[in-house]
Amino acid sequence: MKKASITETKNRLSALLEAVKRGETVLIMDREKPVARLEPVTTQTDEETEGWLRELERTGLVKRPKTHASKIKLTGPIPKAKGGASIVDALLAEREEE
């Protein structure tokens, strides 16, 4: 873990952030006492996401599709608005109502 004083952090913040982007952690020190830590933001792992989805599925709040979304193909023509109505106008009206 890299250590940096407050002065060094102020003067070299861009370089320290680049190090953090590469996965390093930077401990910011004030007179040899740690006061803050810069570390990469982590996202949920696939295992955590899977467990979360499994729990939602078990409780009946979520039902997963049988095929992956990238394999779903639209068939047939794209529906058109009736009577010359504007889909964009309908969408904007709906947004204003909410």
Better-predicted residue by pLDDT, 83 or 20: 20
Considering only 7-16, 21-30, 46-55, which range has the smallest mean pLDDT?
46-55
Identify whether the C-beta of residue 21 lies closer than 8 Å to the C-beta of residue 3. Answer: no
What is the rounded CA–CA span in Å between residue 40 and residue 77? 46
Amino acid at 79: P
Residues 6+ apart with CB under 8 A from 34: 27, 28
Give the CB-side neighbour count of residue 11, counting CA atoms within 13 A: 5
pTM above 0.75, yes or no: no
pLDDT value, residue 47: 79
Rounded CA separation 37/28 (Å) = 6
